[in-house]
Structures are given as structure tokens and as C-alpha cells.
Structure 1
Amino acid sequence: MTLELIAEAGVAGTSHRKIAARAGVPLGSMTYHFNGMDELLFEAFTRFAETIITQFEKRLSAATTIDEAKEAIVGLIHQDLTGPQTARDGVLAFELYTLAAREPRFRAITREWMRRSRVELERHFDPDTARQVDALIEGLWIHRSLDPEPLDRGITKDAITRITTRQS
């Protein structure tokens, strides 16, 4: 309930009262379980990040070769990061990034997200390449969230190939 409300109204438009009303529970139960909005937001965003990274790990862990890893990344961008759920997740990611930019506690969530992404990417690529591919994935997710034009799969494949091919 909390994440859906944040996706609709933003962090600024989310309150204990609104979450309780949406969930159909007494307001007192919200304040009993969570000391404040900060704690509730932290828990909600931690669960959100875990869902995203688990999906990422599942797709990348199935790859056993570099080529399969590259194709898994393309699939992640063009299949997993599309559709109505992705639009919602994009908004939630922007809300989390905004909190993380200002609040060190929330920055810990994004750092763990990035760390786990890189761990999975480093199963296939050196650390510098993994960092670049991770940034590409995040950047393309942002573009997919904001740009109404569909992203060309060939351009994505080309970008991944360019990043993952060693230059002499």
C-alpha cells in the first residue's frame, strides 16, 4: 500500500493517515508499528530495492557466458523494465534517489542496490566494466521511464557491446 501511494502522490504527499486509509486500518496501528514516516519510508524503500535487485540477480545469474550475460542485460532493459509496473517502479526509484540525495540513511539503500548489481555483473565482467554497464542500465531505465518513444533493442545491444569490448 505504501509504495503504491508513494508512486501516486510522491513522498511529500504520503502520510500515515493516507496509508492507513488506503489499507483500511486504524491510524493508531500505523503509529504503533512505525515510529514515524521516516521509518515507514525506509522499510517500504528497502522492500522495493530488494524486489528490483532480486529480479536483476535472477536474470543475470542464469547467464553462463559473456554473450549470455550481454543478452540477459538486453532482456532486463527491454523486458523486465517495461510495462505499467515499470512506470510505477521508475517513479519509486526517482523518489528513492531524491531521498538518498539528501538523507544518508536512504543512501544506504541505494548503495546496497548498486553493490549487489555490481556483484552480479562482476561474475561476467571486470569491476570497471561492471560499473559502466550498471550505469548504462540505470540511465536507460530513466530514459525508458520518461521518453514516450520505445528504445531500439539494437541500440541497446550496440551500447552493451561497446562497453564490454576491450579497446586496445
Structure 2
Amino acid sequence: MGGPRRVANDPLRKQRILDATLAVIAEHGVHRTTHRRIADTAGVPLGSLTYHFESLDAILEQAFEALADSMSERYSTALTEAPDQLAACAAVTDLICGDDYVTSREVTILHEMYGYANHNPAVAEACRRWLLRSRDSLAVHFPPRACRAIDALIEGWPMHQAWEREPLERDLVHATIVAIAERIR
């Protein structure tokens, strides 16, 4: 069960519902995410979900959008704080190899998000906007073609790690990012 029930005028209830949705997705997958599971996890009455959202699809769409926004902000911050391209290569390596950008729980949710995007145009559009924001963040330090290649690695390497269940080779990741930065113009 989700815990104590909240007061009716809870200004954070909608956000708690979105957070609970991601927790349910991580534990059960999108295909077994229900209004009831979300409400129980959020610790809110079931009617709160229909008060704040018109459908389960709307809840899922907004939860995935919130995840994309949060991860995009972390991505942007890491790259904005890098003073030059070499520091940006190190920042990208940290994004790929560290838990600061994407946790194993978030990788699980991302797999669900990408699968759901195949059948939900709103989530597909959220993924596209996220991709473009990521490339914009990279463009501070890298040319457009390198941004595309590096962004694919940032997405792909953590997914491979999730399936391989072995730590990434930080030196290989860093060398790959530097090689792309130096060679793709």
C-alpha cells in the first residue's frame, strides 16, 4: 500500500501521482500499470487520478514527459558546466558511466517509454523533443554530426549495460567520445 492518505487540498498530489506512475512502471511495466496501482503507490484516493487526468494514457504521457524533462535538465547542466570540449568529453563519459544521469531504475523505465512510444504518438513526440534538447545541449561543444553520434552513445551504452549486467569500461567510453569529437566535423 502507498502510505497515509493526504488531505484533499494537497498541491503536490498531481506530482505524487506522476512519481508513483514511474514507480509502478519500473516495478510492473506499462502493460500492468493501472489506476489502482498508481493510486495505492501515491497514497491518494483512486478518484484523484480521474480528477487530475482524463485517462490512464494521459497519466502515462505526462509521467514520461516529466522523466524526459528531468533527465534532459541533468544532461544540459552537465554539458553547460563544461568549460571546453575536453571537459565536455569528460562530462559525457560521466553521463554514460555514472549513476548521476541514468540509474538502473530509469533505464528500466526508458525501455518501457520507448516501447510505449511505438504505439502512442504523444510519447513518441516527447521522445523526439528530448532527443532534440539533448543534441542542443551537446551543440555547445560539438558539431552537429558529432552531437548525433554522441547522443546515440549516451542512449545506447547504458541500455547495453543493462542487458550485459557488467560495468562499462570507462576508458573505452571516454576514448570513443574523444575520437568522435576529434574526427567527426
2:114 aligned to which of 80, 87, 97:
97
Aligned to 2:27: 8
User: In 1, are the aligned partners of 2:145 and 2:184 still within 8 Å (CA)?
Assistant: no
Aligned to 1:77: 96
Cα offset, 1:105, TM superposition: 1.2
* Percent of aligned pairs with the same amino acid: 39
Against the structure 1 CA distance between its residues 164 and 34, is the aligned structure 2 distance closer, same or farther, given a 3 Å change threshold?
Answer: same
Aligned to 1:152: 169
Aligned equivalents of 1:55, 1:127: Cα separation in 2: 20
Against the structure 1 CA distance between its residues 29 and 155, is the aligned structure 2 distance closer, same or farther, given a 3 Å change threshold?
Answer: same
| In the alignment, structure 1 residue 25 sits paired with structure 2 residue 53 | no
Cα offset, 1:30, TM superposition: 1.2
User: In 2, are the aligned partners of 1:86 and 1:145 still within 8 Å (CA)?
Assistant: no
| In the alignment, structure 1 residue 115 sits paired with structure 2 residue 101 | no
2:144 aligned to which of 103, 111, 127:
127
Cα offset, 1:132, TM superposition: 0.4
Q: Secondary structure at the match of 2:148?
A: helix
TM-score norm. by structure 2 comes to 0.85
Aligned equivalents of 1:142, 1:23: Cα separation in 2: 28
Q: Can you list the C-alpha shifts for 1:95-149, whole angstroms capped at 9, x where unaligned? A: 1101112222111110111011000111111111100000011111111222211
Query: Which amino acid in structure 2 is aligned with residue 121 of structure 1?
Result: L
Query: Which amino acid in structure 1 is aligned with residue 107 of structure 2?
Result: G
Aligned equivalents of 1:24, 1:150: Cα separation in 2: 36
Aligned equivalents of 1:64, 1:135: Cα separation in 2: 23
Aligned equivalents of 1:138, 1:21: Cα separation in 2: 32
Aligned to 2:83: 64
Aligned to 2:160: 143
Cα offset, 1:79, TM superposition: 1.8
Which stretches of structure 1, 4 residues or longer, exceed 3 Å deviation after superposition? none
Aligned equivalents of 1:119, 1:35: Cα separation in 2: 33
